[in-house]
Each structure stands twice: as C-alpha cells, then as structure tokens.
Structure 1
Amino acid sequence: MTVVEFRDSESSTRRILRWVREWGWFASLVFVPAIPDRFSRVYDDILTASNWLGEESLFFNLGYWKDNPRTFDQAGAALARLLATEAHLGPDDIVVDVGCGFGDQDFLWADEFGPKRITGVNISAKQVEIATARAAELGLSDIIEYTHGSASDLPQPSASATKVTALESALHFPSRSRFFDEAFRVLAPGGRLVTADVVPLANEHVSSRTSRLRPLEKLVHGIFTTSRQNHTNAEEYRQALVTAGFKDVRVYSIRNHVYPQYAEYVNLKLRQPEMRRINPLIRTFFGRRGVSFWAPWLDYIVATADKPPSGDGL
C-alpha cells in the first residue's frame, strides 16, 4: 500500500465537506475530558494522512534537519535514525515504541537496525489499524506488531523489553512522569529509554524580544502540553527521569536543527497545488506563520536514560 492509497482522491466539494467535519471535530474536543480520548480523536479524525506533509511516508514528526535533508520524508527518517542510534538499537533488541503513529520509524528500524521484535503502542485505534496493514504489506508482521493502549498503562509485562522509545509522542501523554514509571517497569535491567520530545523552553533561553509577549507563553504551552504535569522543561525532564529510577540520564536540545529548517521547508512545500488538500487551519498552524508563533516558546529535546543492571543497588 502506498502513501497515496491512504489519501482519498477528492473533488473540491468533498474536500470542503471534509474540512467542515474536521473543524467540527476540533471544536468538539473541548467536550472530551479524558486526555487519551482527546488525542485519540485528534489523530483519528483531524491529523490524518490527508492533512500531513509526507510524499513517500506517513511520518508525523517535525523532522531532524541537521544534514540538510531535501524532503519532509527524509527529515522524518533522520529523526528516527537519531533515536535508533541513541538507543544503540541492534539485533538482540525487543522494542516497545510508544505513540508509534503509522509505523514508519518501526519499518525503518526493522530494515536498517534489525531488532528482534518491535511492538508499537498507540492510543489511536485507526493508526493501529493502518500501521498493522502497512507492516503486513511490507512483509514485517513476523517482527512488528501494533496494539491499542495508553502510555500510562502499557500493555506489556514487566522487564519484557530492552528498549522503549517515544518519537515526538510524549507531549501528548497525560503524564510524562507516569510514562517514565511505565517505561522503567517494562524495561529489563540494563534497558534504555529514548525519547524525542517537544517541551517548554526554559525561561532563560527565551529571547528578550519574545519574553515581552508573556501572555502567549501559556497559550503555546497549553496547546503543546496536555496538562500541568507535562509543563516540563529540559532540566525538569531530566529530574523526572532520575526520580523514576533511571541512571546515566542525558537530555540535550536539537531545536536549532528542527524548527528553523522545518519552517523554511514547509513555507515552500505548502505552495504546491497538492498541498491544498490540507485543512486551511492545519496549514496555518503548522506553516511558517504558525511556527513563528509557537517555536520561540518551545524546546525540542532528545533524552536517553538507562535502567540500572541487576544488582546495581535497586
């Protein structure tokens, strides 16, 4: 199945009707109190394949642009490779990929890093269905499976994985701290958690020009974090991992290789006629104008954290 097959060919009338439905679904989110249900609806009904930027993939991340990738697909793949490299992913690994989207990073990891097993966990039933179909189409069902579940209550036995990953998904979790606890439980001793995540930028790193617009800060943080429990800057993120029991915690920023290049690319990309399929509100929010609104308040981090080996005093 190609990416195009997940995007209906639409007449202009059908496209407008879809946009109206999406606007209605977006407005209805205010009446969905449970955070997992809210984000399940976002990804089932609004941020669908028809509303995203990939041409040959269904990557739903902002990408890693350090080495000047030419396309959104390549930038998404570069971010997936960065996580796999930080995880030291290899043939003996059993991976739990939390917030797995449509599975593109899992397919790349299976092809390039050859782990023994990957289980993708997602709160979106529709994405689980599509990712499962895509894995079967690629002949990867023997090593990749997808399951519906929450990051706050992972459907895996304790000490059953060597690696846990969350590629630009933990910002949507009800509580990162709860997810860190669950990742620690699921990992075998000596296992590693790796995340790529969007978090509030620490105040000392916000430019003086931006800091004059403080009323916007809470709005942006409210959009990109699910609750006060997730209003966590990079240092607080590191402390939360330590509190969960992890050792050798490393948290570093890659925002300078994400937001500027993404904004430049998407500014050109959205001028293409094919991009008219994307909902105008989403085009605005994820386009250059939207990035200039929200990126000054946000960091983009990569975190690695190890569960101590057996006999390490825990």
Structure 2
Amino acid sequence: MMAVPEQTPPSSLEVGDYYDRLTDLMNRALGGNTHLGYWPQPGDGSSPGKAADRLTDLLIGKLRGITGRRVLDVGCGSGKPAVRLALSAPVDVVGVTVSEVQVGLATALAKQSHVADRVVFTRADAMELPFPDGSFDAAWALECLLHMPSPAQVIREIARVLRPGGRLAVTDVALRAFGRTGMKRGECTSQLLAVPALVHIDEYAGMIADAGLELHELTDIGDQVVGPSFAALRDHVNEHLDEYAAAFGIGVAEMRKVVAQCTTLPWTPDIGYVVLTARRPGE
C-alpha cells in the first residue's frame, strides 16, 4: 500500500469498479479467491490458492456450531468462501458485494458446485445492508473492511441484522497497535487500491462494543499472512505486468514502479492481519 495525501474515501461504485477490473487477475493469483493466504508454517510450500483456502477454513471454524443456519457473507468476492462454507455445513449463505462482476462469478460458482439452492449473491453496499433486523444467525466479513469509508458503520450494520445470540467473524488487513515505525492510521491509504485507511488493531474492540456486540477473540496473525501473501502477489503482478497495468489504467513502467514501492516500504512490519469473533448478546 502506498502512503498518499489525505483523500476522499472511495465510494461503493468506485470500489465496485476496482473489483470489476481486478477480480479475474486476483482469482488467478489466489486460486479463485480475492483474499490473502494463511501460512501457519512459513515456507511450507503451499500455493497462494491453498493458503487462501486455509484462511477461509480458519474462518469457517470460527462459525462452527452456530445455532441456526442463515449466514451473511459481507464482501463475498467471487463466492469461493461462501461455497466452501456451504459445502462444509448445512447452512444457507447470502453473499453481498458491490461488484457486478463478482455477483456473476459467484452465482456461476454456486451453480457449478450444486449449492445454488442454499447460496445466493446480490449487489449491496455493506454500509447500508438491505436486510431486516435480526435476519441472520451468523455473519462474516472476510477482508473487506479495509475498503469501507467507515468500518465502524459496517460493523453496526452487521450487528443490526444479526439475531440475538448471532455470531460474527472478521478477518482484515490492519495496522498493528504497537508498530515498529509508529505509523498512524491515515498514513496507510491507497487511491489505486481503493483503501481509504487501515484500522489499528486496538480500534476493533471499541467498534465491536459500540455496535452492541460482545468481543470473544482478537488475534493478529499478520506474520503468517501479510509477508508471504504480498510476496506471492508481487510475483504474480511481475509475471502479468501488461494485464495489471491495463486493469489499473496505468502504463507498464508505472505499474513496475508501483510494485517496487509496495514491496520496499520500510513500514511493512507495521501491517498485521486481524482475526476476531464476536456475538450479539441474547438467547
């Protein structure tokens, strides 16, 4: 991510356009996923796709044993995590994304995987979820809050649509509370990547409490996610510079500079990866 001057947060239309342009490339880089990978044993030789599936499985484990079966997938990407969840448990999943391309890909994947009767996808803004109060038994947000103008508002919206006793699981790129370089929240923005600002890990507990939820777990697994994932993405971009440059709407030379900047910034150790679970009180 690149530090840039303060800017207007991307609108949902702009984030949707970003993923309309980048999803195919990201899927190819990450085995059909649009989120990073998890390497609990660094250097184990896992492909980025296998590591991304492993991260999905980590989150599936956080929802295991939920009461009820209706799950909301906020920022569903191309649908692979939702389909993987449905294949592992008797749940119904509703996935939302601001990308029309992703809705189409996710719907096709659900049909191909024979779970279209239990897994559906729709275009919707997580800042204003189009669902009634208390209409889901569980929800997850897999690496999407970093694109939101107000992650706190998204968490409040998720809390609203959870029934009493409903469970929430979240993963996201975040700033470490005690970073090595003292980097501040607003200093990690990227217009190119549609990221208004990363949240400090120590902000999550307050956002969860303000939404009326009970925090159960808050963990940073950044060392097992960020470095190896960024390296894998860097390699994929370098192998497909022309395609990435076209998707970003810049020249190849400029794309090469972006890759170099993103992989040599001194504050990279300040970037972590949060995993949290919470519950709406009641029942």
TM-score, with length taken from structure 1: 0.74
Alignment of 1:145-294 (within 5 A): 145-202=120-177, 204=178, 206-207=179-180, 210-211=181-182, 218-222=186-190, 226-227=195-196, 232-266=199-233, 269=236, 277-279=243-245, 280=252, 285=258, 290-293=262-265
Change in 2 beyond 3 A, CA 1:255/1:192:
same
- Structure 1 partner of 2:111: 136
Structure of greater Rg: 1
- Tell whether the 8 Å contact from 1:197 to 1:300 is kept in structure 2 after alignment: yes
What's the offset of the Cα at 1:284?
6.0
Alignment of 1:4-43 (within 5 A): 35-43=11-19
SS, match of residue 84 in structure 1 = helix
Q: Which sections of structure 2, spanning at least 5 residues, go unmatched?
A: 1-6, 246-251
Matches of 2:94 and 2:121 in 1, distance apart? 6
Change in 2 beyond 3 A, CA 1:303/1:51:
closer
The answer to whether structure 1 residue 61 and structure 2 residue 28 are counterparts is: no
Change in 2 beyond 3 A, CA 1:118/1:52:
closer
The answer to whether structure 1 residue 296 and structure 2 residue 255 are counterparts is: no
Alignment of 1:93-132 (within 5 A): 93-112=69-88, 114-132=89-107
What's the offset of the Cα at 1:95?
0.7
- Structure 2 partner of 1:21: none
The answer to whether structure 1 residue 308 and structure 2 residue 281 are counterparts is: yes
Q: Which moved more, 1:192-201 or 1:81-90?
A: 81-90
Matches of 1:283 and 1:108 in 2, distance apart? 35
Aligned length: 267
Change in 2 beyond 3 A, CA 1:256/1:283:
farther
SS, match of residue 235 in structure 1 = helix
What's the offset of the Cα at 1:137?
2.0
- Structure 1 partner of 2:55: 79
Read off the aligned partner of 1:234 and give its amino acid letter. I
SS, match of residue 140 in structure 2 = strand
What's the offset of the Cα at 1:88?
2.2
Percent identical residues: 27
Change in 2 beyond 3 A, CA 1:297/1:218:
farther
Read off the aligned partner of 1:291 and give its amino acid letter. T
- Tell whether the 8 Å contact from 1:199 to 1:232 is kept in structure 2 after alignment: yes
Hey, which of these two has a bigger chunk of helix by percent? 1
- Tell whether the 8 Å contact from 2:33 to 2:78 is kept in structure 1 after alignment: yes
What's the offset of the Cα at 1:188?
1.0
The one-character-per-residue Cα deviations of 1:116-170 (angstroms, maximum 9, x if unpaired) are: 2000011112211221122112221101000110111112221111111110011
Matches of 2:256 and 2:68 in 1, distance apart? 41
- Structure 1 partner of 2:4: none
Read off the aligned partner of 2:18 and give its amino acid letter. V
Q: What RMSD, in angstroms, separates the aligned Cα atoms of the two structures?
A: 3.0
What's the offset of the Cα at 1:115?
3.4
Q: Which sections of structure 1, spanning at least 5 residues, go unmatched?
A: 1-30
Matches of 2:9 and 2:185 in 1, distance apart? 23
Change in 2 beyond 3 A, CA 1:231/1:41:
same
Read off the aligned partner of 2:175 and give its amino acid letter. P
- Tell whether the 8 Å contact from 1:247 to 1:306 is kept in structure 2 after alignment: yes
Point out which structure has higher relative CO (alpha carbons under 8 A, 6+ apart).
Answer: 2
- Structure 2 partner of 1:16: none
